[in-house]
Chain A
């Protein structure tokens, strides 16, 4: 039945069509602005917040609707039915209501990020279709790829304007702490977003487990730390929850950040070319070409320390063990967590008491060059890292000042404080206060880590470094093999970054 031979003429016809198609494809590669067609689509129960006053249709001719993905402080869906003990988030809704009262021509609607979606995939689709929310959240290390693709709008002009809602303010950017400004600065020096809050990382532990295992005082140095884990293991606990899965946040690069920055405390800032106390992708890429981006001896030491540590990880840590679930079940004794979990622990508490402690210090007996300083991951990875899609500049330029005005209103210190009360994030807005439960995160430290592991380069770099640990930790790789592989993988990642940014080549 089915033909077994294709005649030569048919083949030529097919090739002809293919090349014609190729020529066509070569012409149209950039998506043009689509016109949205109105089609009947079933709409579920509306989620628009109830405005406190009806919009005064008389005066303001145009009505602006701002779709805002609030992420961290996102108000709870009014239709959501909560379990016992869960609290409804309303802070940002109240702020929005007040804003809409003062500006009847603006409507703020909350974009509900599709659960289960990957932010990168979602962003790619939405930016291609140009139907993203007007304000979206994205983590600071993804900034340069977003700038390249025009996903992030330039905020500089607005950052230099005074914030009308904050008395005495002459430039919006003065409201925020330095690290917030640096994390929104692109390789070209311009500002591409606003960061109102930040995050810190500590080790959270099961107090009951520690007491049972006979650990009297919380470990402060690495040696004490290993010791404590041995005691926990003897008691039948899994001492430390970790996995090497890039989708689980965020053990490998947090551990790497702490360890590497401690070991290279005196030298890490030599590659900080622009002296802003933060190592950027551009700096890493440029120094990598000169060969001095990473201190490979320190890197090897980090590898050894991680390997020593890995004996205390759960079975299957190379894959996707859910250590957070195991912690709640009382099986895992401690793990590294960000301060956003405080509000989670409040709304659904564990059956045992928990506490927070700082990452252990590497002492001179382990690494002779150690300065024994305390480093902390503290920076702009908060729930209020807001960006605006770049395409709005062409598509809806008159909406941009409205969006910026709303963001300026949001960043009033009292407004940020109210949001922080619910999210328990660290404040990066001057004058805004964090919740008292964040006290452990306010303990003094010497330096916030400037270098975040290969993640600094790109998200692909992050994946590559995770794979390096997947290869090294469970294996019996020799030191030389490890360093060779690490250097090779690192170079490949640098090449990818240079491919995307040819102007970073030296």
Chain B
């Protein structure tokens, strides 16, 4: 059985890119110009955010939207000082939630995607239905459950419900991916006597790396920016994630400072930016592997 007949998602994309030079698709520069304009417009809010983050009160009163000198780095110093205690909290929230969530959803998606077991359709529909339940409908009742389990103001009270909420989307995407893997890959291993979990670990997961990375990055972003749930669950403000710590710069009399608030948002986004710098290739590859569809 030659490997060229196996079609793994994403493989076609690679071959197309290589052979694209044969096409005459028009002048690149026109397209690039249009894209550059659109890209700039997309970036404008980010640029404005940066501009505002360097202003003090007086500069904001005079000319809010134009860059003004001198750049007040002390906004960043102040913001860093205020949000630093909360950074670790966010990191812990992200690590726990993403680990629990990805492990559970990968296992379930693999089972749902590759084995025709009784109830498979039913479970899948049940998971799909979850996506359609408005989050706000279950906010209070989920909180009551969390309290009843004694998980309020604890890490598990953050990890478990957030992981539960991410299951539906992750399972749907991963299931489609696992189901699209060609059977031949597994048949060979099964003949050799490999066990089911081994096949998941050795065959399916390595192939799923791009898509799993994408889901991981997406979830990190979601958990990092989540503020509604932590505000309810955590009664001790010292345990707040960074996104809530920034609010101190908007409210407290001693700390209220719009320039520093914007600086705080920039700083809160920096870890994500760094994460992105390292993972963007894989992230983009995961999204463009063609496995995400409905």
Contacts and interface: CB of A to CB of B under 8 A. Distances in A.
A116 B147 contact: no
Nearest to A46: B238
Given A112-B237, A114-B240, A129-B153, A34 B147 contact: yes
A50 interface: no
Contact of A34 (B125, B152, B155): B152
A35 interface: yes
A42 B244 CA distance: 15
A83 B294 CA distance: 55
Interface string B46-68: 00000000000000010000000
Contacts of A86: 253-254
B125 A3 contact: yes
A14 B125 CA distance: 10
B231 A114 contact: yes
Q: Interface range on chain B: under 10, 10 to 19, 20 to 34, or 35 or more?
A: 35 or more
B235 A126 contact: yes
A445 to B, nearest CB: 29
Contacts of B151: 37
Contacts, number: 114
B86 interface: yes
B152 to A, nearest CB: 4
Interface string B201-240: 0000000000000000000000000000001110101111
B186 interface: no
Given A3-B121, A125-B232, A116 B155 contact: no
Interface in A13-48: 13-14, 28, 31-32, 34-37, 39-45, 47
Interface residues of A, number: 48
Given A114-B244, A115-B250, A129 B155 contact: no
Contact of B156 (A7, A39, A45, A121): A39
Given A36-B150, A81-B81, A116-B251, A41 B125 contact: no
A53 interface: no
Contacts of B244: 114, 116
Contact of B147 (A31, A81, A347): A31
Q: Could you say which of A45, A129, A344 has the most chain B C-beta atoms within 10 Å of its C-beta?
A: A129
A14 B254 contact: no
Nearest to A7: B121
A35 B253 contact: no
B121 A10 contact: yes
Contacts of A128: 140, 143-144, 147
A42 B89 contact: yes
Contacts of A116: 244, 247-248, 250-251
Given A1-B176, A6-B121, A86-B254, A44 B143 contact: no
B169 interface: no
A32 B148 CA distance: 6
Q: Could you say which of A28, A37, A47, A86 has the most chain B C-beta atoms within 10 Å of its C-beta?
A: A37
Interface string A329-354: 10000000000000010010000000
A41 B179 contact: no
A120 B85 CA distance: 26
A125 B234 CA distance: 9
B238 A44 contact: yes
A58 interface: no
A80 B85 contact: no
A31 B150 CA distance: 10
A126 B147 CA distance: 10
B252 interface: yes
B92 interface: yes
A44 B155 CA distance: 15
Given A28-B148, A329-B61, A43 B238 contact: yes
A347 B253 contact: yes
B154 interface: yes
Given A114-B237, A115-B248, A129-B152, A42 B88 contact: yes
A499 interface: no
A45 B78 CA distance: 17
A76 interface: yes
A114 B253 CA distance: 13
B155 A41 contact: yes
A31 B144 contact: yes
18 contacts: A1-B179, A3-B121, A10-B121, A13-B122, A14-B125, A28-B148, A36-B153, A39-B155, A42-B89, A114-B240, A114-B244, A114-B247, A115-B237, A115-B250, A116-B248, A122-B231, A125-B231, A130-B147
Given A39-B155, A329-B61, 16 more contacts: A13-B122, A32-B148, A35-B150, A37-B150, A37-B156, A39-B156, A40-B155, A41-B155, A114-B231, A115-B247, A116-B247, A116-B250, A128-B143, A129-B147, A129-B153, A131-B235
> Which 8 pairs across A and B sit closest by C-beta, in order of nearness?
A116-B247, A44-B85, A115-B251, A129-B152, A131-B235, A125-B232, A115-B248, A39-B154
